[in-house]
Amino acid sequence: MMPRVVTPSIHLASPVTPPSPAALTHLRASDAAGLAVAGPCIALTAVGVFLSTRTNPLTWLAGQLLLALALVQWFALLHECGHETLFRTRALHAPLGHLAAFFSMIPFHNWKRVHGRHHKWTGWQDIDPTTASLVPRELSRAERVLVNVCWKYWVPLFSVIYRVNNFWNWPRLKTLFVRAEDRRRLALHMLGLVTAYALVIALVGPSTFLRLCGLAVVLSLVAEDLLLLSQHTHIPQNVSGGAEVRPFPTIEQEVFTRSLVFPRWLSALLLHIDAHELHHMYPFVPGYRLAGIAYATENEIGCWTWIRRARALPGEVFLFQNRLETGADI
Protein backbone atom coordinates (compact mmCIF):
# COMPACT_ATOMS: atom_id res chain seq x y z
CA MET A 1 0.00 0.00 0.00
CA MET A 2 1.27 3.46 -0.88
CA PRO A 3 1.63 5.96 1.95
CA ARG A 4 -1.03 8.66 2.31
CA VAL A 5 0.66 12.04 2.46
CA VAL A 6 -1.43 15.04 3.42
CA THR A 7 -0.89 18.74 2.99
CA PRO A 8 0.50 19.48 6.45
CA SER A 9 -1.28 22.69 7.40
CA ILE A 10 -4.01 25.09 6.41
CA HIS A 11 -2.17 27.87 8.24
CA LEU A 12 0.31 30.19 6.64
CA ALA A 13 3.89 29.33 7.48
CA SER A 14 5.77 31.83 9.61
CA PRO A 15 7.76 34.30 7.49
CA VAL A 16 10.60 33.99 10.00
CA THR A 17 13.04 31.15 9.48
CA PRO A 18 13.39 29.03 12.62
CA PRO A 19 16.84 29.09 14.20
CA SER A 20 19.11 26.17 13.45
CA PRO A 21 19.76 23.70 16.29
CA ALA A 22 23.41 24.78 16.25
CA ALA A 23 22.33 28.32 17.11
CA LEU A 24 20.69 27.14 20.33
CA THR A 25 23.52 25.23 21.94
CA HIS A 26 23.67 27.87 24.67
CA LEU A 27 20.21 26.80 25.90
CA ARG A 28 21.46 23.89 27.94
CA ALA A 29 20.37 22.37 31.22
CA SER A 30 21.93 23.18 34.55
CA ASP A 31 21.72 21.25 37.80
CA ALA A 32 20.67 24.38 39.69
CA ALA A 33 17.82 25.09 37.29
CA GLY A 34 16.67 21.47 37.43
CA LEU A 35 16.65 21.48 41.23
CA ALA A 36 14.82 24.83 41.21
CA VAL A 37 12.03 23.12 39.29
CA ALA A 38 11.99 19.78 41.11
CA GLY A 39 12.17 21.27 44.62
CA PRO A 40 8.88 23.21 44.47
CA CYS A 41 7.12 20.20 42.95
CA ILE A 42 8.22 18.01 45.86
CA ALA A 43 7.14 20.72 48.31
CA LEU A 44 3.78 21.17 46.59
CA THR A 45 3.20 17.41 46.74
CA ALA A 46 4.02 17.31 50.44
CA VAL A 47 1.69 20.22 51.22
CA GLY A 48 -1.08 18.67 49.12
CA VAL A 49 -0.79 15.33 50.90
CA PHE A 50 -0.62 16.97 54.33
CA LEU A 51 -3.75 19.06 53.72
CA SER A 52 -5.50 15.97 52.38
CA THR A 53 -5.04 14.26 55.77
CA ARG A 54 -7.11 16.96 57.48
CA THR A 55 -10.73 16.32 58.44
CA ASN A 56 -12.02 19.79 57.50
CA PRO A 57 -13.68 19.36 54.05
CA LEU A 58 -12.41 22.66 52.65
CA THR A 59 -8.86 21.97 53.82
CA TRP A 60 -9.03 18.49 52.30
CA LEU A 61 -10.33 19.91 49.02
CA ALA A 62 -7.54 22.48 48.92
CA GLY A 63 -5.06 19.65 49.44
CA GLN A 64 -6.56 17.67 46.56
CA LEU A 65 -6.40 20.66 44.23
CA LEU A 66 -2.76 21.31 45.10
CA LEU A 67 -1.91 17.65 44.74
CA ALA A 68 -3.65 17.51 41.34
CA LEU A 69 -1.51 20.41 40.16
CA ALA A 70 1.58 18.67 41.52
CA LEU A 71 0.70 15.45 39.66
CA VAL A 72 0.56 17.31 36.35
CA GLN A 73 3.89 18.90 37.22
CA TRP A 74 5.32 15.43 37.94
CA PHE A 75 4.25 14.42 34.43
CA ALA A 76 6.20 17.39 33.06
CA LEU A 77 9.22 16.32 35.13
CA LEU A 78 8.91 12.75 33.84
CA HIS A 79 8.95 14.18 30.32
CA GLU A 80 12.15 16.14 31.00
CA CYS A 81 13.89 13.24 32.76
CA GLY A 82 13.04 10.97 29.84
CA HIS A 83 14.81 13.37 27.50
CA GLU A 84 17.62 13.86 30.05
CA THR A 85 17.21 17.61 29.73
CA LEU A 86 16.34 18.57 33.31
CA PHE A 87 19.87 18.45 34.77
CA ARG A 88 23.34 18.94 33.38
CA THR A 89 24.49 15.85 35.33
CA ARG A 90 22.90 12.95 33.46
CA ALA A 91 23.03 10.61 36.48
CA LEU A 92 20.48 12.76 38.28
CA HIS A 93 17.74 11.98 35.78
CA ALA A 94 17.13 8.34 36.72
CA PRO A 95 16.41 8.86 40.47
CA LEU A 96 14.05 11.79 39.87
CA GLY A 97 12.63 10.07 36.79
CA HIS A 98 11.59 7.04 38.84
CA LEU A 99 9.95 9.31 41.42
CA ALA A 100 8.15 11.21 38.65
CA ALA A 101 7.11 7.88 37.12
CA PHE A 102 5.52 6.86 40.44
CA PHE A 103 3.40 10.02 40.56
CA SER A 104 2.65 9.87 36.81
CA MET A 105 1.61 6.19 36.82
CA ILE A 106 3.98 5.43 33.92
CA PRO A 107 7.03 3.14 34.26
CA PHE A 108 10.16 5.19 33.64
CA HIS A 109 11.96 2.97 31.09
CA ASN A 110 8.70 2.37 29.24
CA TRP A 111 8.22 6.12 29.03
CA LYS A 112 11.73 6.71 27.69
CA ARG A 113 11.49 4.07 24.99
CA VAL A 114 7.95 4.79 23.78
CA HIS A 115 8.33 8.57 23.95
CA GLY A 116 11.62 8.35 22.09
CA ARG A 117 9.90 6.47 19.29
CA HIS A 118 7.13 9.08 19.29
CA HIS A 119 9.67 11.82 18.59
CA LYS A 120 11.33 9.77 15.88
CA TRP A 121 8.09 9.08 14.00
CA THR A 122 6.08 12.28 14.58
CA GLY A 123 4.15 13.02 11.40
CA TRP A 124 3.55 9.36 10.51
CA GLN A 125 0.36 8.65 12.42
CA ASP A 126 0.34 4.88 12.01
CA ILE A 127 4.01 4.44 12.98
CA ASP A 128 4.14 6.80 15.93
CA PRO A 129 3.04 4.46 18.77
CA THR A 130 1.23 7.25 20.63
CA THR A 131 -0.98 8.24 17.67
CA ALA A 132 -1.49 4.90 15.90
CA SER A 133 -4.80 4.25 17.67
CA LEU A 134 -6.22 7.45 16.14
CA VAL A 135 -5.66 6.49 12.49
CA PRO A 136 -9.04 7.12 10.80
CA ARG A 137 -11.18 3.98 10.77
CA GLU A 138 -14.80 2.89 10.96
CA LEU A 139 -15.90 3.03 14.59
CA SER A 140 -18.47 0.71 16.08
CA ARG A 141 -21.58 2.26 17.61
CA ALA A 142 -20.31 1.45 21.11
CA GLU A 143 -16.97 3.16 20.39
CA ARG A 144 -18.69 6.27 19.04
CA VAL A 145 -20.97 6.55 22.07
CA LEU A 146 -18.10 6.02 24.51
CA VAL A 147 -15.81 8.54 22.83
CA ASN A 148 -18.51 11.17 22.39
CA VAL A 149 -19.87 10.89 25.93
CA CYS A 150 -16.43 10.98 27.57
CA TRP A 151 -15.30 13.95 25.47
CA LYS A 152 -18.53 15.89 26.08
CA TYR A 153 -18.64 15.33 29.84
CA TRP A 154 -14.91 15.66 30.59
CA VAL A 155 -14.47 12.01 31.58
CA PRO A 156 -10.69 11.43 31.42
CA LEU A 157 -10.85 8.33 29.24
CA PHE A 158 -8.09 9.41 26.91
CA SER A 159 -5.27 10.02 29.39
CA VAL A 160 -6.08 6.61 30.90
CA ILE A 161 -5.99 4.87 27.50
CA TYR A 162 -2.78 6.77 26.70
CA ARG A 163 -1.12 5.22 29.73
CA VAL A 164 -2.55 1.72 29.44
CA ASN A 165 -2.08 1.27 25.71
CA ASN A 166 1.36 2.87 25.37
CA PHE A 167 3.17 2.01 28.60
CA TRP A 168 1.39 -0.93 30.28
CA ASN A 169 0.24 -3.00 27.30
CA TRP A 170 2.77 -5.82 27.52
CA PRO A 171 1.86 -7.63 24.25
CA ARG A 172 2.15 -4.34 22.35
CA LEU A 173 5.40 -3.40 24.06
CA LYS A 174 6.89 -6.76 23.06
CA THR A 175 5.91 -6.05 19.46
CA LEU A 176 7.47 -2.59 19.53
CA PHE A 177 10.69 -3.61 21.27
CA VAL A 178 12.20 -6.95 20.34
CA ARG A 179 15.59 -6.85 22.08
CA ALA A 180 15.72 -9.12 25.12
CA GLU A 181 17.40 -6.48 27.31
CA ASP A 182 14.77 -3.93 26.38
CA ARG A 183 11.96 -6.31 27.23
CA ARG A 184 13.58 -7.22 30.53
CA ARG A 185 13.82 -3.58 31.60
CA LEU A 186 10.29 -2.79 30.41
CA ALA A 187 8.93 -5.69 32.48
CA LEU A 188 11.03 -4.84 35.55
CA HIS A 189 9.91 -1.22 35.56
CA MET A 190 6.27 -2.27 35.28
CA LEU A 191 6.68 -4.78 38.10
CA GLY A 192 8.57 -2.29 40.24
CA LEU A 193 5.88 0.35 39.91
CA VAL A 194 3.05 -2.08 40.68
CA THR A 195 4.99 -3.26 43.73
CA ALA A 196 5.49 0.33 44.92
CA TYR A 197 1.77 1.07 44.66
CA ALA A 198 0.90 -2.17 46.45
CA LEU A 199 3.27 -1.34 49.31
CA VAL A 200 1.86 2.16 49.76
CA ILE A 201 -1.73 0.90 49.73
CA ALA A 202 -0.83 -1.86 52.19
CA LEU A 203 0.87 0.68 54.45
CA VAL A 204 -1.91 3.27 54.64
CA GLY A 205 -4.93 1.13 53.72
CA PRO A 206 -7.14 1.38 50.61
CA SER A 207 -9.65 3.86 52.03
CA THR A 208 -6.97 6.24 53.30
CA PHE A 209 -5.11 5.94 50.00
CA LEU A 210 -8.24 6.95 48.08
CA ARG A 211 -8.88 9.83 50.48
CA LEU A 212 -5.32 11.10 50.11
CA CYS A 213 -5.13 11.04 46.32
CA GLY A 214 -8.34 9.79 44.66
CA LEU A 215 -9.85 13.12 43.63
CA ALA A 216 -6.44 14.60 42.85
CA VAL A 217 -5.66 11.75 40.44
CA VAL A 218 -8.97 12.19 38.62
CA LEU A 219 -8.50 15.96 38.32
CA SER A 220 -4.94 15.54 37.06
CA LEU A 221 -6.15 13.05 34.44
CA VAL A 222 -8.81 15.51 33.29
CA ALA A 223 -6.13 18.19 32.88
CA GLU A 224 -3.81 15.78 31.07
CA ASP A 225 -6.62 14.80 28.70
CA LEU A 226 -6.56 18.37 27.42
CA LEU A 227 -2.79 18.59 27.44
CA LEU A 228 -2.19 15.33 25.58
CA LEU A 229 -4.98 15.71 23.05
CA SER A 230 -3.96 19.28 22.25
CA GLN A 231 -0.52 18.26 21.05
CA HIS A 232 -1.20 16.30 17.84
CA THR A 233 -4.92 15.55 17.58
CA HIS A 234 -6.97 17.02 14.69
CA ILE A 235 -3.78 18.09 12.92
CA PRO A 236 -3.17 16.55 9.47
CA GLN A 237 -0.78 13.62 9.69
CA ASN A 238 0.74 11.25 7.15
CA VAL A 239 -0.14 7.55 7.05
CA SER A 240 2.50 5.14 5.78
CA GLY A 241 0.08 2.31 5.01
CA GLY A 242 2.89 -0.14 5.76
CA ALA A 243 5.26 1.35 3.19
CA GLU A 244 8.86 2.03 4.12
CA VAL A 245 9.17 5.72 4.91
CA ARG A 246 11.73 8.00 6.51
CA PRO A 247 11.26 9.92 9.76
CA PHE A 248 10.84 13.67 9.56
CA PRO A 249 13.82 15.61 10.94
CA THR A 250 12.96 17.34 14.20
CA ILE A 251 13.20 20.80 12.65
CA GLU A 252 10.42 19.80 10.21
CA GLN A 253 7.99 18.50 12.85
CA GLU A 254 6.41 21.87 13.64
CA VAL A 255 3.52 21.31 11.20
CA PHE A 256 2.52 18.05 12.89
CA THR A 257 2.06 19.41 16.39
CA ARG A 258 0.29 22.21 18.26
CA SER A 259 1.22 24.58 21.08
CA LEU A 260 -1.24 25.92 23.63
CA VAL A 261 -0.65 29.25 25.32
CA PHE A 262 -1.00 28.80 29.07
CA PRO A 263 -0.94 31.63 31.61
CA ARG A 264 2.72 32.48 32.19
CA TRP A 265 2.80 31.18 35.74
CA LEU A 266 1.29 27.85 34.73
CA SER A 267 3.57 27.48 31.70
CA ALA A 268 6.61 28.09 33.90
CA LEU A 269 5.35 25.67 36.57
CA LEU A 270 4.92 22.95 33.92
CA LEU A 271 8.30 23.59 32.29
CA HIS A 272 6.67 25.16 29.21
CA ILE A 273 5.19 21.83 28.23
CA ASP A 274 2.60 23.89 26.34
CA ALA A 275 5.32 25.01 23.85
CA HIS A 276 5.04 21.68 22.11
CA GLU A 277 6.09 22.75 18.63
CA LEU A 278 9.37 24.20 19.87
CA HIS A 279 9.95 21.07 21.91
CA HIS A 280 9.60 18.85 18.86
CA MET A 281 11.83 21.10 16.78
CA TYR A 282 14.51 21.31 19.48
CA PRO A 283 14.10 18.31 21.82
CA PHE A 284 17.58 18.87 23.28
CA VAL A 285 16.50 22.20 24.82
CA PRO A 286 15.23 21.92 28.42
CA GLY A 287 11.59 22.86 28.84
CA TYR A 288 12.52 25.72 31.14
CA ARG A 289 14.74 27.17 28.37
CA LEU A 290 12.19 27.01 25.53
CA ALA A 291 11.08 30.59 26.21
CA GLY A 292 14.55 31.66 25.12
CA ILE A 293 13.90 30.61 21.51
CA ALA A 294 12.95 33.66 19.45
CA TYR A 295 10.56 32.00 17.03
CA ALA A 296 6.76 32.16 16.76
CA THR A 297 5.42 28.73 15.82
CA GLU A 298 2.58 28.41 13.31
CA ASN A 299 0.16 26.15 15.24
CA GLU A 300 0.13 28.13 18.47
CA ILE A 301 -3.31 28.84 19.93
CA GLY A 302 -4.65 30.22 23.20
CA CYS A 303 -5.53 27.55 25.72
CA TRP A 304 -9.12 28.67 26.33
CA THR A 305 -9.74 29.29 22.63
CA TRP A 306 -8.59 25.77 21.78
CA ILE A 307 -10.68 24.21 24.56
CA ARG A 308 -13.81 26.03 23.42
CA ARG A 309 -13.36 25.15 19.74
CA ALA A 310 -12.25 21.56 20.31
CA ARG A 311 -15.08 20.88 22.75
CA ALA A 312 -17.57 22.14 20.17
CA LEU A 313 -16.75 19.07 18.06
CA PRO A 314 -18.07 15.58 18.77
CA GLY A 315 -15.38 13.34 20.21
CA GLU A 316 -15.34 11.00 17.23
CA VAL A 317 -14.83 13.94 14.85
CA PHE A 318 -12.16 15.60 16.96
CA LEU A 319 -10.17 12.40 17.46
CA PHE A 320 -10.43 10.66 14.09
CA GLN A 321 -10.58 13.55 11.63
CA ASN A 322 -8.38 16.59 11.05
CA ARG A 323 -8.89 20.28 10.38
CA LEU A 324 -8.51 19.89 6.63
CA GLU A 325 -11.61 17.69 6.69
CA THR A 326 -13.68 19.66 9.20
CA GLY A 327 -12.47 23.22 8.63
CA ALA A 328 -12.21 23.69 12.39
CA ASP A 329 -9.62 26.35 13.18
CA ILE A 330 -7.86 24.40 15.91
265: Cα within 13 Å, side-chain hemisphere: 1
pLDDT at position 16 = 74
Name the residue type at position 137: R
b/e map 18-31, b = 16+ CB within 10 Å: beeeeebeebebee
Which among 92, 21, 54 has a CA at the least distance from the CA of 278? Answer: 21
Cα separation of 204 and 215, whole Å?
17
pLDDT digits (tens, 9 = 90+) for 155-185: 999 999 999 999 999 999 999 999 999 999 9
Contacts (Cβ under 8 Å, ≥6 apart) of 156: 150, 218, 221, 222, 224, 225
Distance CA 25, CA 318 (A): 37
Please tell me whether residue 278 adopts helix, strand or coil conformation: helix
285, 264 Cβ separation under 8 angstroms? no
Local structure of 301: helix, strand or coil: strand
Q: What are phi and psi of 32, to 5 degrees?
A: -65, -45
Q: Phi, psi (5° rounding) for residue 302?
A: -60, 140
**pTM of the complete model:** 0.94
CA distance 253 to 116: 14
75-88 pLDDT, tens digit per residue, is 999 999 999 999 99
- Which residue positions in the chain have pLDDT lower than 50? 2, 7, 9-13
